Amino acid sequence: MNKYKILVVEDDTSVKNLMATTLKSHDYQYLIARNGAEALLEASSHNPDIMLLDLGLPDMDGIEIIKNIRSWSNMPIIVVSARNEDTDKIEALDAGADDYLTKPFSVEELLARIRTTQRRMEIMMVDSEQTSSKFTNGDLVIDYAAGCVYLRGEELHLTPIEYKLLCLLSKNVGKVLTHTYITEHIWGSSWENDVASLRVFMATLRKKIEISKESPQYIQTHIGVGYRMLKVE
Ligand code: CA
């Protein structure tokens, strides 16, 4: 049995069944909630590891559930919703969701998002156990204590903003961070100018760490939403 317990919050029977079958066949433990009230009850009483959350629920909006959960738990929340506007994604991510998958989705995509979330949780656990001051991802090494970054063993020369950006992304590896989240952490505000500056700094940072501009290995762009650092195998 997989050690991860997943709470599926979904009112649509066919989607719920698809998720349940998928999780079961991959040895995940799972719980089902058909509305917001059940979701909050299951989340608080069974302490699942990951929540898959539909936004359009009969009794409350999924955004309210994210806000409620975030007031007491860091449990990863992957939104699985038919709402596909950037503003919907941004609202959910800003409320505290970790990832966003749009319906209709493929089973492979769902499983990949769950695995990404698991890896992020494992990294966070290792970090807190060792209070490690070093982050390693593929050929990229960040020595937080020394404030140095190495790529394939060579030290990289980053500007202070590029370094802050890279640290923020690395500390949230696997998680989509919205433009607002990033600019608030880097500049303390989220003016439109900051988002424009963010694009510029992100471009210079990527030039330094990515081999190919067309298929970036480390930093993924979510157009209109934000960025995510990928865990490199
Ligand atoms: Ca629904």
pLDDT at 132: 66
Q: Which residues pair with 203 in a beta bridge?
A: none
Q: What is the pLDDT of residue 213?
A: 82
Give distance in angstroms: CA of 229 to centre of ligand 1.
29
- pLDDT tens-place string over residues 29-51: 999 999 999 999 999 999 899 99
Q: What is the value of pTM for the model shown?
A: 0.79
Q: Output the CA 34–ligand 1 centroid distance in Å.
A: 9
Mean confidence (pLDDT) of the chain: 92
- For strands 226-229 and 177-178, give the pairing: antiparallel
**Could you count the other beta carbons within 10 Å of the beta carbon of residue 37?**
14
CB 9 within 8 A of CB 52: yes
pLDDT in tens, 14-29: 999 999 999 999 999 9
Residue 57 CA to ligand 1 center (angstroms) comes to 5
The pLDDT tens digits for 101-142 are: 999 999 999 999 999 899 888 877 776 666 668 899 999 999
Residue 128 is predicted with a pLDDT of 64
For residue 128, give Cα distances in angstroms to 2, 171, 179: 23, 12, 27
Nearest to 114 by CA among 71, 138, 79, 74: 79
